[in-house]
Amino acid sequence: MHGPPVRAVRARTYVVPTTYDGDPMPESDGTARWDSTGVLVVEVEAGGCTGLGYAYTSPAALGVVRDVLAGVLLDDEDAGGVFATQRHFWSMARAVRNMGWRGIAASAVSALDVALHDAKARLLGVSLLELLGASADRVMAYGSGGFTTYTDTQLRQQFAGWAERGLRAVKMKVGTDSAADPSRVRAARDAIGADIDLFVDANGAYDRKQALEFAERFFADAQVSWFEEPVSSDDTDGLRLLRDRAPAGMRIAAGEYGYVPTDFRLLLEAGAVDVLQADATRCGGVTGFRNAAEQCIARGLPLSAHTAPALHATLAASVEPAVNVEYFHDHALIESLLFDGVPELIDGCLVPDTSRPGHGLVTSGRGEDYLTSEWES
């Protein structure tokens, strides 16, 4: 079946300050500090429908859309139109080969791949979840924030608030000040009580010996059940060491820097993770996320969606191995600002609204104060 060709491509970038309780506040994890979040939002026009995609990335990604990728989609008249999502994905991947597929280019490809799938679902008059084939009608969400810039009081308030909203797991950052980490982790456990899962993310800040020590300590002191990037994701042997030696009740997670299918294969072949993470706004949109899911199926491992909850609600519900979606503090705020149709949180789960066409998101027009650049073909 041929779809209509892509007739126009639009791209906008936003830079949104990080906030706590509505006030600007810088954020940090074990290896980075930031005070804003960059977002690329793209639209493709085909057959009178608009498909929407987005990615959390540098505003520099707009240049990749404008100079390279828009032309790939617009010039592809005989390629099966907007329905030929696989063909478009691989054409875009080839087009960024010499600049480097990983990184900013991969995020630009990801946003456009999501927009193409959204347009296809809208043209067919179905939700994206129906187009992909649902595995579930909802997916568990976990609250994610607990930045190391927070005071213990702010950390407790954020986690207690998520618990009150029904989330059954929360994740905090560790690794900025290893001397303070044990007491911060205990404060988090105190805030959520015994029945909510507590996850920690070191963003690769610890060395192997520190990570082994903290795995034991966080589990014994606060029943931490998920240790994300205890060591750098580049140290796949170190991740494997942690996976083999951490307490049995603690899962090792990594994968957020997977940009291309091979990145996931290398983590999985190394036996580096108990749970693979994938971020559709980096790893190739719908196409890349589903490839990561297939690699998990082949190895019998679960998949977790990294950030971008409004998009991942649909994508995670469409693949069997997905166990949860990261309800990331900044992204939940940004998605509610930039888009209408954000999925609801119900009983700790994100529930895609399949009565809406596509992934259900449309631009709200509310983010204009944070617009930094725009372009259209």
Residues interacting with Mg ion, by CB under 5 A? 201, 228
Between CA 98 and CA 96 the distance in angstroms is: 6
Q: Residue 306 and residue 284: Cα distance in Å, rounded? A: 13
Nearer to Mg ion, 79 or 283 (CB): 283
CB nearer to Mg ion: pick between 228 and 335: 228
Selection from 193, 189, 197, 181 nearest residue 148 by Cα: 181
Decide: 170 and 191 in contact? Cβ < 8 Å: no
For the bound state, the minimum distance from the C-beta of residue 164 to Mg ion, rounded and expressed in Å, comes to 24
Picking from 360, 293, 295, 326, the residue whose alpha carbon sits closest to that of residue 130 is: 360
| Shortest separation between residue 105's beta carbon and Mg ion, angstroms | 21
285 neighbors 109 (Cβ within 8 angstroms): yes
Structure-token match 């996320």, residue found: 289
Minimal distance in Å, beta carbon 49 to Mg ion? 35
* Residue 328 · residue 144 · CB < 8 Å: yes
CB of 239 to Mg ion, least distance (A): 13
Nearer to Mg ion, 53 or 146 (CB): 146
Q: Which residue type, as a one-letter code, is found at position 230?
A: P
Rounded distance between C-alpha atoms, residue 301 and residue 103, angstroms? 25
Q: How far is the CB of 276 from Mg ion (least distance, A)?
A: 13
Q: How far is the CB of 144 from Mg ion (least distance, A)?
A: 8
Which helix (H) or strand (E) covers residue 222, if one does? helix 208-222
By beta-carbon proximity to Mg ion, the closer residue of 196 and 200 is 200
Cβ 204 to Mg ion shortest distance, Å:
9
Provide the 8-state DSSP code for 321.
Answer: T
Residue 306 is given by DSSP the state -
AA identity, residue 307:
T
| Assigned token pair, 197 | 């899962």
Residue at shortest CB range from Mg ion = 201
Which CB atom, from 181 or from 201, has the smaller least distance to Mg ion?
A: 201
* Minimum CB distance to Mg ion smaller for 43 or for 228: 228
Which of 45, 201 has the CB closer to Mg ion? 201
Task: Output 228 or 274, the one with its CB closest to Mg ion.
Answer: 228
Residue 279 vs 335, nearer CB to Mg ion: 279
Short-list 160, 127, 126, 131, CA closest to 143: 160
Do the Cβ atoms of 174 and 31 come closer than 8 Å? no
Measured CA to CA, the distance from residue 299 to residue 302 in angstroms comes to: 9
Rounded to whole angstroms, the Cα distance separating 326 from 304 reads 8
Question: Rounded to whole angstroms, how far apart are CA atoms 75 and 78?
Answer: 9
Nearest distance from residue 98's CB to Mg ion, in Å? 30
**Which residues, in sequence order, are bridge partners of residue 15?**
38
Q: Other C-beta atoms within 10 Å of 240: how many?
A: 16
Least Cβ distance, residue 228 to Mg ion (angstroms): 5
